[in-house]
Amino acid sequence: MNQNPVWKYLALVFIVTFGLIYAIPNVYQAEPGVQVIGSRNTVVDQDVVARVSRALENSGVLVKAISFDGEAIRATVDSEEAQNTARDVLKSALGDNYAVALADVATTPSWLSSLGGKPMFLGLDLRGGVHFLMQVDMSAAKAKAMENYEADIRRILREERIRYSGLQTTEVGDVEMRFRTEEDVVNAGNKLRLEFPELGQFQRPIDTSFELQLRMSEQAFSELSRAALKKNMLSIRNRIDQLGVSEPIIQQQGLDRIVVQLPGVKDPTEAKSILGKTATLEVRLVDEKNALASSVRGNVPIGSKRFNFRDGTPILLENRILFAGENIVDAAATFDSQGGGQVVSITLDAKAAAVNSDVTGDNIGNRMAVVYVETRINREQLANGDEKVTTSEVKEVITAPVIRDQLGKRFQITGLDRPGEAQELSLLLRAGSLAAPLYIVEERTIGPSLGAENIEKGFKSVAYGFLAVLIFMIIYYRLFGFVASFALVLNLVIIVAVLSLLQATLTLPGVAGMVLTVGMAVDANVLIFERIREELQAGASPQLAIHRGYDNAFSTIIDANITTLLAALVLFNFGTGPIQGFAITLSIGIMTSMVTAIFVTRILVNLIYGNRRLDGLNI
């Protein structure tokens, strides 16, 4: 009775080995350093590595190591003071063509890294980082929506053969149309009322024409604002995740603001470039009917618009946008096996794929242009000290190839400047374009000193609670207390290992979850040991008491832990930010504690007492 089969010993060895391998990386603290990456039109290569090395050496900065992974250069220094100096030196030496940022360089041994061992991330309250409060420009979102309405209205009036003498979007966001007869304005009003019930209509005669104005209702604008806010939050999260910033906190504040917290980001300038950059695509047909030379002189034909390639060469495109960035399902940077160089492979949604198929099928031999659209935030300091924030849109044609075949759901973008640009463009397209421009209204940088103080207090809280539990268990349950203490230590090791393996972010609420887990983990052993005592008092033999103690306590432990786990899942689903961090740590702790408190302790107890005659138990 109470013997362990071989597989249980193998399982225990595996559990201990797993915990140690994936928890140990957290012992190795990251060292201060700087990171150099290329901007949009530059690449980082071995020549840049040599320039970085020479610049740091000539400045007298002591460099511990320089690494290059093909995309970024990372230089490790010995102090934060040297880190700031190195950043300033490299910015001066490399100029604006390269982005230089502060970075924490991992020091995990290569043999651990090869096994997938990485330290877990620390949250903003522990590691320090950057906090932004961002304003969503809802007026720009409304203007974009009304621009789309205008294009649809032109199409509908053309299809219904309703003649109009003027159609434009006013500065206040109304679509204004003029007709020559009352019949035309009535027909237009009836048709547009069916197509766009969310737009209110205002009709009035002016001189010899009739005017019809369409204005977005308050309810429609509220729905548009909510949708824009949610899409911006999703785009920001996708963009930050793909750029490698660990576990950002992105929350809505009010009706038109977003809070963004980036743990570990020390350079606000770098963070601004990550958040502020907006990019999308527009695909239009090239106007093959009208002369380009006439449009260059200012005579742009109705229904068309003049654009420029990146080198400044003009091109005339139709106003109609076939599809845009929001219709892109996936984008990936790949290599063009035929023409060489990098391309971006685009996958469209069903609606855009149908349009792409119809248009390209009808225009074989004509050209189709891909327009890169970027929204930039312009800040102007006024005389009274206030800051004026405006947005501007930059559009440039990337490529305008001839349509050779009918296209469908997938196509490729060529004509990019460099391989890095293909990767950057595909990243931004996958993340999704912003529904409305964003600008920062509040910025805070949380220093690492505050994070270090929080780490120290959090560590002390876990250590003191842990030691108190260990002392109580050893005094009260003696040898069984030692067994429970080993399981408790192993439980904490496994929690850290799992969090590290999942690359989760540890915050102060997560530390609180660990402290709570310590108490809950030992509670299972208390139930088991008390059951064993009850069996001994009832006259059962020591071996039978151990067997019944574990079996009888099992169902109670499972019930108690499952109810707590359900509560943790509810916290995770309905909570945000710190609450989710607490729920994740608590959930992992509940599952690991059941393994250590039931499975591991029984193996150890069987190893100590099993398969021999006992006169009593040291419990």
Q: What is the CATH number of the domain that holds 564?
A: 1.20.1640.10
Q: What is the pLDDT of residues 425-464, one digit of tens each?
A: 666 666 556 667 777 788 777 766 666 677 777 778 778 8
112 within domain boundaries: no
Is residue 116 within 8 A of residue 21, CB to CB? The reply is no
| Strand pairing report for 98-105 and 121-122 | unpaired
Q: End of a domain among 400, 424, 444?
A: 444
Measured between alpha carbons, how far is 550 from 540 in angstroms, rounded to an integer? 14
Q: What is the pLDDT of residues 126-183, one digit of tens each?
A: 777 788 888 888 887 888 788 778 878 888 888 888 888 888 877 777 888 888 888 8
- Give me the mean pLDDT over the 240-265 stretch: 72
Are 480 and 578 in a shared domain? yes
Nearest to 411 by CA among 318, 543, 323: 323
User: How far out from the chain centre does Cα 275 lie?
Assistant: 11
* Domain, as residue range, for 78: 31-105
Sorting pLDDT into bands at 50, 70 and 90, what band is 379? low
114 within domain boundaries: no
Residue 415 scores a pLDDT above 70: no
Q: How far is CA 326 from CA 147, 348, 355, 405, in A?
A: 15, 9, 14, 24
| Lowest mean per-residue pLDDT among 213-217, 385-389, 459-463, 488-492 | 385-389
The model's pTM is 0.58
Are 428 and 503 in a shared domain? no
395 within domain boundaries: yes
Q: Structural domain tally of the chain? A: 4
| Lowest mean per-residue pLDDT among 17-26, 321-330, 402-411, 548-557 | 321-330
pLDDT at 232: 81
| Lowest mean per-residue pLDDT among 35-49, 353-367, 530-544 | 35-49
Tokens of 442: 């509040």
pLDDT at 385: 65
**Residue 71: CATH number of its domain:** 3.30.70.260
- Give me the mean pLDDT over the 23-52 stretch: 80
Are 158 and 189 in a shared domain? yes
| Lowest mean per-residue pLDDT among 41-45, 49-53, 392-396, 479-483 | 41-45
Measured between alpha carbons, how far is 619 from 616 in angstroms, rounded to an integer? 9
342 within domain boundaries: yes
Measured between alpha carbons, how far is 393 from 370 in angstroms, rounded to an integer? 16
Are 426 and 500 in a shared domain? no
N- to C-terminal Cα separation, the chain: 19
Q: End of a domain among 444, 466, 501?
A: 444
Are 523 and 476 in a shared domain? yes
Is residue 584 within 8 A of residue 575, CB to CB? The reply is no
Are 13 and 35 in a shared domain? no
- Give me the mean pLDDT over the 584-608 stretch: 88
Are 567 and 527 in a shared domain? yes
pLDDT at 197: 84
272 within domain boundaries: no
Sorting pLDDT into bands at 50, 70 and 90, what band is 188? confident
pLDDT at 90: 87
Nearest to 33 by CA among 72, 2, 1, 4: 72
Tokens of 591: 């599952």
- Give me the mean pLDDT over the 106-120 stretch: 82
Measured between alpha carbons, how far is 402 from 559 in angstroms, rounded to an integer? 67
Total residues found in the chain within this entry: 619
Q: 1 or 359: whose pLDDT is higher?
A: 359
Amino acid at 270: E
Measured between alpha carbons, how far is 26 from 119 in angstroms, rounded to an integer? 5
Residue 375 scores a pLDDT above 50: yes
Residue 212 scores a pLDDT above 90: no
- Give me the mean pLDDT over the 270-277 stretch: 63
**Residue 326: CATH number of its domain:** 3.30.1360.200
pLDDT at 109: 82
Q: End of a domain among 386, 411, 444?
A: 444
Residue 40 scores a pLDDT above 50: no
Measured between alpha carbons, how far is 55 from 94 in angstroms, rounded to an integer? 9
Is residue 166 within 8 A of residue 177, CB to CB? The reply is yes
The runs of H, that is alpha helices, within 347-478 are: 350-362, 419-431, 448-477
pLDDT at 419: 52
Are 284 and 400 in a shared domain? yes
Residue 59 scores a pLDDT above 50: yes
Tokens of 594: 């059941």
CA 487, 489, 491, 495: dihedral to nearest 10 degrees? -170
Is residue 370 within 8 A of residue 413, CB to CB? The reply is yes
Are 398 and 439 in a shared domain? yes
Residue 14 scores a pLDDT above 90: yes
Phi, psi (rounded to 5 degrees) for 447: -70, 160
| Strand pairing report for 505-506 and 121-122 | parallel
Residue 364 is given by DSSP the state T
Measured between alpha carbons, how far is 483 from 596 in angstroms, rounded to an integer? 10
Q: What is the pLDDT of residues 275-331, one digit of tens each?
A: 656 667 788 998 888 777 666 666 777 778 888 887 788 888 888 888 887 777 777
557 within domain boundaries: yes
User: How far out from the chain centre does Cα 518 lie?
Assistant: 32
Are 360 and 407 in a shared domain? yes
Nearest to 360 by CA among 417, 401, 299: 401
Q: 12 or 236: whose pLDDT is higher?
A: 12
Max Cα separation, the chain?
Answer: 114
Rounded to the nearest integer, the mean pLDDT of the chain is 80
Is residue 374 within 8 A of residue 277, CB to CB? The reply is yes
Is residue 92 within 8 A of residue 58, CB to CB? The reply is no
Contacts of residues 6-9 at CB distance under 8 Å and 24 or more positions apart, as own/partner, are: 8/599, 8/603, 9/603
When mean pLDDT is compared over 54-58, 67-71, 93-97, 438-442, the highest value belongs to 54-58
Measured between alpha carbons, how far is 73 from 101 in angstroms, rounded to an integer? 11
Are 314 and 234 in a shared domain? no
The residues, any chain, with a CB within 8 Å of residue 112's CB and separated by 6 or more, are 21, 24, 25
DSSP string covering 497-561, please?
A: HHHHHTT-EE-HHHHHHHHHHHHHHHHHHHHHHHHHHHHHHTT--HHHHHHHHHHHHHHHHHHHH
Find tokens 């891909």 and name the residue: 370
266 within domain boundaries: no
124 within domain boundaries: no
Residue 613 scores a pLDDT above 60: yes
Are 237 and 338 in a shared domain? no
